[in-house]
Every structure is written in structure tokens, then in C-alpha cells.
């Protein structure tokens, strides 16, 4: 099974170890992993900013880069959601590209969804010990139905105790460019999320998207919380925390 790892632009820039953690997990699941060297971004920032043309050009680029893969996996519900749920919208007027986009979309997965649904990985390399709470990032949850998958994987780590926070499904306030266009609203939403994280009493908040990660970690630290860890699910599962 040939799997293309779409690292995502934020992981590339901010947290490469999440990319390597995803790689390790996919290899542990017995996949032949390829990482196309020319990959950059799925185009979501352009799509959400109203630049359909730029989004489409980046979509064409990604579709071509991963065309030879059986599956495309991203350590992000947001980016996987862009490919699966929104690429077809970009090619509504172009049947040939639409078919390619739709075909790739059905083969594109968020990491935990892929590990549970397709690869059926049961032995995890991770050895995290502690109490964690899981933040459901919006796109993964509401576009791809990622909810039970990360929890099922966490449940296989004997040292992990999952304690659910209030409002786990509520937006952390990141929202891409929203976080800087409306910085004060965004920061206030992050604060509410942090209050829920802290009230859960967990040692770490675990999540599946870089945007939420930067937002929540940034707010926790600004609030003076140096203790609560903010970890990507791939890091926890792969033992690369």
C-alpha cells in the first residue's frame, strides 16, 4: 500500500517532528510511504480568503504530486478536509479535473482516521504516560467525522488516561487568517478553550491540527501556564513527544 504523506505547510515550517511522527506511524502500519519533495500547501488559505484561482492552481499541483499514491495522508483534519470536501468545488466547471479531484479526495485521509479505518494499526510505538484531554479540531470533526478515531488510538496506549473537557468540540478560535484579522476575538476564544483544558486537569491537551496547536499553546503560555503540554496526536502515538 503506497501512501503519500502530505506533511502540510504548517508542520513543515513549525513542527517537523510531527511529520516524522506521522511517517513513523505509517511505516509501523506497514505502508510504503512516499513524501513528494515538491509539496507545499493544499491551498486552503487562498480558498478561505476568496482566491479561487490560486486555490485551484495549488489543488492541481497537489493532485498531480500525489496521483500515483493509493492514499494521501495528512497529520491535519483541516488540510485533509480541504482536499476531500472542497477540492471538488474548485473544479465544478471542469469535468476532467473534477474527476481527478474527486478520485483523490476519496483516497485522502486525516492521519488517525487512516490509521484506524484503512491501515488498522494496532501496535503503537508511543509510550506516553499521563492524563490527556482531546481537542476536536473543527474541520476534522465536522468535515471528516474524526472523533472516535484518535480516542480509539489513545486508548491503546496503556499509560494514557483520557479525560474529556467541556466544550471539546468548540472552536479554539484559530480560523486561519481569522486569527490575525480579528486577533482579539480569536484570542478570547482561545482563552475559553484554555479554561476548559485546565479545568479538565489533564497533563496535556492532545489534538490533530497545527493551527489549533499554535493557538492553544500560545494562549496557555501567555496565561502563565508553563505546565500543560500541547501535543499533536501523532507525537503521542509515535512516542516522539
Q: What is the contact surface with other proteins in residues (CB under 8 A)?
A: 7, 9, 11-17, 19-20, 35, 37-41, 43, 45-52, 54, 57-58, 61, 89, 138-139, 142-143, 169-171, 173-192, 213-215, 217-219, 221-222
Nearest distance from C-beta of residue 170 to other proteins, angstroms: 6
CA–CA separation, 46 vs 148, rounded Å? 30
Nearest distance from C-beta of residue 95 to other proteins, angstroms: 20
Q: Which is nearer to other proteins, 157 or 189 (CB)?
A: 189
CA–CA separation, 209 vs 135, rounded Å? 9
Distance between the two ends of the chain, CA-based, in angstroms?
A: 27
Q: How far is CA 4 from CA 24, 117, 210, 240, in A?
A: 13, 16, 19, 21
Query: Could you tell me if 124 and 237 are in contact, meaning their C-beta atoms sit under 8 angstroms apart?
Result: yes
| Alpha-carbon 102 to chain mean position | 20
Nearest distance from C-beta of residue 137 to other proteins, angstroms: 9
Q: Which is nearer to other proteins, 6 or 114 (CB)?
A: 6
Q: Which is nearer to other proteins, 96 or 180 (CB)?
A: 180
Q: Which is nearer to other proteins, 52 or 151 (CB)?
A: 52
Length of the chain in residues, anyone? 241
Task: Look at residues 234, 226, 238, 241 and name the one whose alpha carbon lies nearest to residue 113.
Answer: 234
Nearest distance from C-beta of residue 158 to other proteins, angstroms: 28
Q: Which is nearer to other proteins, 160 or 213 (CB)?
A: 213
Element (H or E) spanning 131, and its range? strand 130-134
Name beta bridge partners: 2: 32
In b/e form, how buried is each residue of 46-73, taking b as 16+ CB within 10 angstroms?
bbbeeeeeebbebbbbbbebbeebebbb
In b/e form, how buried is each residue of 129-147, taking b as 16+ CB within 10 angstroms?
eeebbbbbbbbbbbbbebb
Q: Which is nearer to other proteins, 20 or 118 (CB)?
A: 20
Helices (H), 29-76: 44-48, 52-65
Nearest distance from C-beta of residue 230 to other proteins, angstroms: 8
Nearest distance from C-beta of residue 32 to other proteins, angstroms: 14
Nearest distance from C-beta of residue 121 to other proteins, angstroms: 22
Q: Which is nearer to other proteins, 57 or 102 (CB)?
A: 57
Amino acid at each position: 500500500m503506497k501512501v503519500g504523506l502530505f506533511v502540510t505547510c504548517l508542520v513543515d515550517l513549525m513542527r517537523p517532528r510531527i511529520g516524522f511522527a506521522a511517517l513513523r506511524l505509517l511505516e509501523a502500519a506497514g505502508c510504503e510511504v512516499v513524501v513528494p519533495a515538491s509539496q507545499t500547501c493544499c491551498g486552503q488559505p487562498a480558498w478561505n480568503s476568496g482566491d479561487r484561482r490560486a486555490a485551484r492552481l495549488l489543488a492541481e499541483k497537489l493532485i498531480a504530486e500525489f496521483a500515483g499514491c493509493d492514499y494521501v495522508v495528512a497529520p491535519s483534519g483541516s488540510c485533509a478536509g480541504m482536499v476531500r470536501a472542497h477540492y471538488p468545488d474548485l473544479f465544478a466547471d471542469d469535468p476532467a479535473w473534477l474527476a481527478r479531484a474527486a478520485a483523490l479526495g476519496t483516497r485522502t485521509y486525516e492521519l488517525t482516521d487512516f490509521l484506524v479505518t484503512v491501515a488498522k494499526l494496532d501496535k503503537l510505538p508511543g509510550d506516553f504516560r499521563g492524563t490527556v484531554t482531546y481537542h476536536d479540531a473543527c474541520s476534522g470533526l465536522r468535515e471528516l467525522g474524526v472523533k472516535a478515531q484518535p480516542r480509539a488510538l489513545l486508548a491503546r496506549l496503556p499509560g494514557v488516561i483520557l479525560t474529556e473537557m467541556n466544550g471539546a468540540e468548540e472552536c479554539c478560535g484559530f480560523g486561519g487568517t481569522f486569527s490575525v484579522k480579528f486577533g482579539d476575538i480569536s484570542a478570547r476564544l482561545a482563552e475559553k478553550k484554555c479554561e476548559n483544558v485546565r479545568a479538565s486537569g489533564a497533563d496535556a491537551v492532545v489534538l490533530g491540527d497545527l493551527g489549533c496547536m499554535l493557538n492553544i499553546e500560545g494562549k496557555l503560555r501567555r496565561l502563565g501556564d508553563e505546565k500543560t503540554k500541547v501535543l499533536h496526536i501523532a507525537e503521542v502515538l509515535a512516542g516522539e513527544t
